A and B are shown apart, each in its own frame.
Chain A
Amino acid sequence: MIAAAAAPHIPAYQHLALPAPAWLLVTLSTITFWIHLIFVSAVVGISCILLLRCLLLRNRSEIDRQINSRALRSLPLCISLAINFGVAPLLFTQCLYGPWFYTASIFIAPFWLAVLALLLIGFISTYLARLKQSLIGFICTLLMPLAFIAILYIMTNNSVLTIQPEHWIEFHRHTSALHVPDPIVGPRLLHNLAIIITLGGLAWAWLSRSKPAPDSQLTQTNINRHATRIGLQYFFLGLPLQIAFTIWYLQTLPKPLQSQLLHTSNSISIIWYASLFLIGLALLTGIVAAFKAAGRFSLAITTILTALSLAGNLIVRQHIRTYYLSRDIAGNLDIYNPNSTTGWQVQNHNSAIIAFAILAVICLITIIVMLKLVRSRPAQS
């Protein structure tokens, strides 16, 4: 049982054993959440860029129309994958942090369920936004980013409320509230948005590259160069914002946590600094990619560095969650120590874990085979 005497407002944990060691669950959760965020960044970033281009570009050239259309067409698959890769960390989070996560979700239940409606609006809008030169097309272009940012806001509040039970009483008083009255919410949301714009710009650079139409004057090089330049514009816009909001976010964290992250004496601060270093490197390679806009190499390096920096951020995020939940007020949770006051036990479902690993390999091979078939085999009429 969770130390109910210390924190009676936290639901007592049921007599459940973890089906795998906590480190494995945390690792899988972090990896899948990382992939989820990459797709989320692509979806939200591209939809934001599409809206901005729709508002800013009055007279669109042929090349603009073509890359806009290509970027828009890539969204449904990205949304499906973003949702699917969001389910896996949701599973692991429920397993590890159920009492905190469920309670927080219940407090913001109407908004939590509204995520589904927003998701559906965003999803359908990606199809209807293809209706060019029409009011419906414009409205849907507007709705896409708004729906996705609203989801981001709800998710941010849920995450903060999960790790801060001290705010639960406020939510008992105001059952229809969503915003958590904590200084961490604003900078955390903006920090996430800045990361999304940064990665979204890179996603645009990749996903808006289309083949020139048969009757078009455009060449593949022109299209690639244009797509990369536009994408990198938003990448360079997002980077300073990301750094600024990261500093702000850091300042809102509790002092002990700040000192853990800022002093280079522990592994988490090394990851934190490495993440900052990687984003700095990405800035440099991004500049090179901007000069060689038609090429793929510099852009690929920039993308990899930014994605790795995001992975570092996620490890730090996990540390922040662990810190918050280890406080007295949160029930002194220590998921890595089965003998702690939490009394968690581990009963590995070994054969099921092996089955998961084998199926993961089979699925990966199947996906690779399918992609190879798609890329290599020409059509036979």
Chain B
Amino acid sequence: MDYPIWYLPYFGGAMVIASIAIVHVFIAHFAVGAGLFNAIAETHALRHNDTAIQKFLRDNSKLIILLPLIGGVVTGVGIWFSISIVSPETTSILIHLFLWAWALEWLLFTVEIISGYLYYYTWKTISPRAHCFIGWVYAVSAFLSLVVINGILTFMITPGHIFDSSTTPFTFSFWPGLFNPAYWPSLILRTISALTLGALFALVLINASRKYTPAERDRLTQLAGKALLPLVLAIPAAVWYFFRCPPLSLSYLTGGSVVMGLLFAFALVGFTLIAFYSYTFIIVRKHSVTLGTALLLLILAFIATGASEFVREGMRKPYLIWNHVYSNGILKSQAPAIRDTLTAQQPIRREATIAQLRDLPYTGPVPNDTVLRFHPWAINPIDVNIPIVTDPQAIALELGLTVAQLPLDRQGAHLAEFTISEAEFYTQDPLIFANLLRQHRTGQAIRGQWIYNAQCLRCHDFDGYNAIKPLVRNWTPTMLARSLEHLESFRGFMPPFFGSPNDRDDLAYFMHTLDGQCSRCHETLDDQANRVNLLPITAKDNWEPLP
């Protein structure tokens, strides 16, 4: 929450990461699976002097090897770029904890790139044994990079007891962190997924080419079919994985979230169908596979892999690192400090700072006490441009009060929020109070937006995917404030709200303004003039802060 917030309108930053990451997962899994498939197939061909398999591998190594190298390299960098701008805090934590894991993976990927290119370019220039060796180097380095990265991915959902984010600096132990509770079942699942994608892609290529005789095609199909056999281990490994995950995350799959439950079921059914087909029809009955069937199976595997990745990501909610970092980047260990103090850890400090610095002439370092004046009047020169209204009747009408009520209701405004003196505040002049009240409301909405930006915007854009507007439609500020008060109980996958009761009311007020249907409840001056039959609800009923 200490970084500027970046989001993509309508799409959302999280979706940017998801789009790139899921494509990367496909490519990376495919690279591992294809590498292992190629190495095994080439060894088999070498032992049995099977020229058909060698020809197939040679013909398709450009697609099998080079395509993942191009796509994998670019999307791999894409993940770095996107996570660093969408979730800089969590990225920073993971980088510091797992710098050397990523460095190990980088070394392995370097070998993977070089061996991949050598594999492709040396089919006809080196001995078959030497070529097969390079194929194995590619396969092993690709698999080992999965071995390393898998640890970082599972750490985010099962960090275990070796990580403590409440200490300064964080307490962490590298190897137990890497080989965390969910590590092994996840590695098995990912390896199975990789082999499946590699084998199914090979099936498509076998049947897409007319270069091979039916006998050769059947032999190659059998070979690819055997690579699908480990799929029978998918369900036991998945059960093992889920038993390792926190109970709350499992509850999303068992009714807590309909979408995640459906995606999980789809992934399970998809992989089961592929396993059933490959075992029954390819291995046992030794049927040929048509191009259409192979494509269908591959698409099914892609969708099932995508669905399982989506479920894996979703299961982490409301955290990015389970029990340590919430999805909005706030550390769980910082929560008490954020709730109790309104200074350094105040949740809107960054937003307030930025909003004010944006329109102040910048001449050098700004002291904290200047930038932390986040009361509404501090932002008057920036966003609030309310003309002073001098007609008490007009003000009363706008506020839904009578003129007689104006001085009496001044307690409704927070004195602490204003920079004017107490004496000035308690003046009996209704004009001063009325204008203060109007400015207070505007200030409240602006403060609310700062809080919203700091705590909500990363996941909830105003419009578009996972937008906030449909979620708060027809909610009153009171309802919103009450739900914010118990957000984590109200919605299990949401992080709690951080801030003082005033902050909460401001956020509720801001979210209420997003409804865009103020005229449904509030009379305007025009309505008054035309006597439109609207509910004569006073402003106070709707926005008054909770006790």
Contacts and interface: CB of A to CB of B under 8 A. Distances in A.
Given A76-B70, A87-B80, A347 B117 contact: no
Interface in B234-279: none
A15 B170 contact: yes
B113 A356 contact: no
Nearest to A11: B2
B381 interface: no
Contact of A95 (B74, B82, B96, B104): B96
Nearest to B99: A19
A262 interface: no
A113 B354 contact: no
Interface stretch (B188-196, B364-372, B507-515): B364-372
A173 B114 CA distance: 45
B365 A329 contact: yes
Contacts, number: 217
For the residues of A in contact with B, the DSSP-based class is helix
Contacts of A99: 2-3
B126 A379 contact: yes
A28 B331 CA distance: 30
For the residues of B in contact with A, the DSSP-based class is helix
A80 B4 contact: no
A352 B101 contact: yes
Contacts of B501: none
A304 B385 CA distance: 64
Given A113-B82, A373-B133, A9 B125 contact: no
A16 B96 contact: yes
B22 to A, nearest CB: 15
Interface residues of B, number: 79
Contacts of B101: 352
Contacts of A88: 103, 106
A14 B93 contact: yes
Given A14-B89, A16-B170, A106-B85, A359 B104 contact: yes
A98 B2 contact: no
B96 A18 contact: yes
B353 A95 contact: no
B208 interface: no
Given A19-B100, A99-B3, 14 more contacts: A9-B366, A11-B88, A15-B165, A16-B170, A80-B117, A90-B80, A106-B3, A116-B81, A119-B74, A119-B77, A173-B358, A370-B134, A374-B122, A374-B134
Interface of A: 4-9, 11-12, 14-20, 28, 76-77, 79-81, 83-88, 90-92, 94-95, 98-99, 101-103, 105-107, 109, 112-113, 115-116, 119-120, 123-124, 166, 169, 172-173, 328-329, 345, 347, 349, 351-353, 355-356, 359-360, 363, 366-367, 370-371, 373-374, 377-380
18 contacts: A9-B357, A12-B2, A14-B92, A76-B70, A83-B77, A84-B106, A87-B109, A106-B4, A106-B5, A123-B74, A169-B357, A328-B365, A345-B169, A352-B174, A356-B107, A373-B126, A373-B134, A374-B134
- Minimum-distance CB pairs A-B, first 4: A352-B100, A17-B169, A102-B88, A11-B2
